[in-house]
Chains A and B, each alone.
Chain A
Amino acid sequence: MKRKIAIGFVTTLMLSACVTNNIAAETKAADDFTSLREAYADIEPLTDPATIRYIGTIGLQLSAPIWLAYESGGLEDAGITLDFTPASTGPLSIEALTAGEVDLVGTGIGGIAVGTIQGTAQMLCYINSEASVQKFYVAGDSPLADAEYNEETGFYGTAEDWKGREVYMPAGTTLQYLMGYSMNKLGLSLQDITPVYMDANNVNTAMYAGKGEVWGIWNYLCYAASVEENGYVPVIEGDDVGIYLMTAYCTNDKVLDDPVKRAAIEKILEYHFATIEWMKESEENMYFASEVMQQWCEEEGLDISVDEMHRYMSDSTFFGLPENIEMWTEEVTNDHGTMIKALDDLQGIMDFYVEQGNYTEDDRAAMIENQNELFDVDILNAIGQ
């Protein structure tokens, strides 16, 4: 009897797996990438096909262009096999790049800082600014929810409103930087609040469990319908406060020295910029892009609806090729010397890191000294031609 039950159970499992796969195949076949593939019409395929090992975070805005190029079959048409490895954070991705396990990284500012300071990563281009998707929330009945909006600082509350508040956020991240930057605007520092450092997903859990007073969350977590439904109110938003939080593609010198891989990286960037232009063309395109990203999240077990993903994807500044060429070539002079604009955009967060003791002024100086090696403009120029 027990044997019959066991056989029945295993058979049911196997059948359900087959059914699930078929449903998934049907859904994929129904996706129509015609419009996106038209955007790639002018891109020539590679002479020598190549496999590029890419590492990035699932479902993030910065992963959208490359994922769309991959899912649409565009990269395959170009002769590129993309070997995708998911990563949870930028610094981990840079670790993999340093170890030679991957060829191309999509990372936020944490990974950019590690890579440029160590000198192990070459910056290829900026993908987008993720300042708009860094937010701090409070419960609807919190005193901060009723606080006045300060036009000068760009967020809610005065110094008195914020002193001593228990703030949950991940340490050493853009959210901690946003909080430090915002408190500085009030003449306060992180020591004037009560920071509780934890992983971003744990902050999200704590928020819904009602533990703590102020919660820093990011990316698609900010756009979940449950945030509004549960009455949580944003009191600090990165865009309003005026911070720069770039995301970038990075590679290493070994990849750039390999002519086949270098050509493939260049081709990927061509697809990347074409995808961005296509997304920006119309609301319909952006919505389709959101559907593809939502499908990806669903396959990977991340719970987000198409509308939530659309709101998240729409709330970002993607950088096109002309903007990148400008950032990689225009020089500016600041307190730390003369540098390209792309590096100047990192100095705000470097100030924060140095103040917190995460990095030193020597680290910053090394970054500035080696900027020509760290920020590769040749590939951008080649695409521009």
Chain B
Amino acid sequence: MKKDESNIKYVFLTIVTFIIFFLTWQLLAEFDIVGKYMPSPVDVFRAFVFKLSNIGPDGSLLSTNILTSLKVSLLGFSVAVVIGIPLGLFMGWYRLFDRIVKTLFELIRPIPAVAWIPLMIVWVGVGLTAKALIIFFAAFVPCVINSYTGIRQTNPALINVAKTYGASNFYTFLHVGVPSAIPMIFAGMRVALSTSWGTLVAAEMLAASSGLGYMISMARSFGRADVVVLGMVVIGALGYIFTLLFSKIESVINKGGTV
């Protein structure tokens, strides 16, 4: 009963927060307090309805833009997860491997995704692969760092128990280290996912004829601030949906709790 009451309170507070936020935004836009260029929530909603069935100003429907961006973003994210997580785990567990790889990783880490665009054009061209690689470079870093940190935090007592029972280093890595790192791995994947969304605009600068980032860039070129904000809201909303999905998956996989 108490838990239900708490949930109801939480939902109520969330709704109230949203209402206050949107009202404030509407007032700020209505009275030009933040400048002429700021669309109101009503303008953004109208732009949303418009984009459901109209291709202007960017040439594609909102649904097309969402699907295109999902393809690019999820492809880049998936590759980042498949490469980044094992890399981080191995770096965190095997000292020699860490020493070999770490310097190169630290050199690549601070390079912003946009900086990779000219090289991507030369190496890979301008298709989906190139755009996904831009996303990969952004999402890869949190996957590696969190996996690395997660496995390094494995309880030494558990490692010792495994060794006492004759487990090999690799067996201990796989059955003690990796499960222990799961909460941090999932935290890294959440960060990587939001980074993937955040890098969409940069990736779609490479070459695009649709996509949410492309829609935002084009809307800006034609003075459609309402469509720009719509793009931002949709990116945010999709990011939130994926975060919720992730939490569900994590709670299933990590139902035993932290090791």
Contacts and interface: CB of A to CB of B under 8 A. Distances in A.
Interface of A: 89, 91-92, 94-95, 98-100, 110, 113-114, 117-118, 120, 168, 171-173, 195-199, 202, 205-206, 209, 211-212, 353, 356-360
Nearest to A95: B37
- DSSP majority for the B interface? loop
B222 A98 contact: no
Query: Which of A171, A199, A212 has its CB near the most chain B CB atoms (within 10 A)?
Result: A171
Given A91-B221, A197-B209, A211 B57 contact: no
Given A89-B221, A199-B205, A358 B57 contact: yes
B209 A172 contact: no
Interface residues of B, number: 26
A359 B205 contact: no
B122 A358 contact: no
A172 B222 contact: yes
Interface of B: 35-37, 54-59, 117-118, 121-122, 125-126, 205-209, 214, 218, 220-223
A357 B57 contact: yes
Nearest to A120: B36
B207 A197 contact: yes
B121 A202 contact: yes
Contact of B223 (A94, A173, A202, A206): A94
Contacts of B209: 171, 195-197
A197 B208 contact: yes
23 contacts: A91-B222, A91-B223, A92-B220, A94-B223, A95-B223, A98-B36, A98-B37, A110-B221, A113-B222, A117-B223, A171-B58, A171-B209, A171-B221, A172-B222, A195-B209, A197-B207, A197-B209, A197-B214, A199-B205, A205-B118, A211-B122, A359-B57, A360-B56
B205 A172 contact: no
Given A94-B223, A168-B207, 20 more contacts: A89-B221, A91-B220, A110-B221, A113-B222, A114-B222, A118-B223, A172-B221, A195-B209, A198-B126, A202-B118, A202-B126, A206-B121, A206-B126, A209-B122, A211-B125, A211-B126, A212-B126, A356-B59, A357-B56, A359-B56
4 smallest CB-CB distances across A and B, nearest first, come from A357-B56, A114-B223, A198-B207, A209-B122
Contacts, number: 88
A155 B35 CA distance: 45
Contacts of A353: 222
A291 to B, nearest CB: 29
Contacts of A98: 35-37
A199 to B, nearest CB: 6
Nearest to A198: B207
Nearest to B57: A358
Contacts of A171: 58-59, 209, 214, 218, 221
B208 A198 contact: yes
B209 to A, nearest CB: 5
Contact of A99 (B37, B122, B125, B208): B37
A168 B205 CA distance: 13
Contacts of B205: 198-199, 202
A212 B125 CA distance: 8
Contacts of A92: 220
B222 A358 contact: yes
Query: Which of A99, A120, A172 has its CB near the most chain B CB atoms (within 10 A)?
Result: A172
A357 B220 CA distance: 14
A358 B56 contact: yes
A99 B33 CA distance: 11
A359 B122 CA distance: 34
A114 B37 CA distance: 12
A209 B117 CA distance: 13
Contacts of A110: 221
B23 to A, nearest CB: 24
Nearest to A353: B222
A94 B37 CA distance: 11
Contacts of B220: 91-92, 95
Query: Which of B36, B57, B118, B223 has its CB near the most chain A CB atoms (within 10 A)?
Result: B223
Contacts of A356: 56, 59
B35 to A, nearest CB: 5
A196 B36 contact: no
A115 B223 CA distance: 8
Contacts of A114: 221-223
A173 B217 CA distance: 12
B187 to A, nearest CB: 34
Nearest to A354: B56
A359 B58 CA distance: 10
A99 B223 contact: no
Nearest to A199: B205
Contacts of B57: 172, 357-359
Contacts of B126: 168, 196, 198, 202, 206, 211-212
B227 to A, nearest CB: 11
Contacts of A199: 205
A173 B218 CA distance: 10
Contacts of A172: 57, 218, 221-222
Contacts of A205: 118, 121-122
Nearest to A99: B35
A90 to B, nearest CB: 9
A358 B224 CA distance: 10
A245 to B, nearest CB: 15
Contact of A202 (B36, B59, B207, B214): B207
Nearest to A190: B59
A118 B209 CA distance: 25
A166 to B, nearest CB: 10
Nearest to A212: B126
Contacts of A120: 36
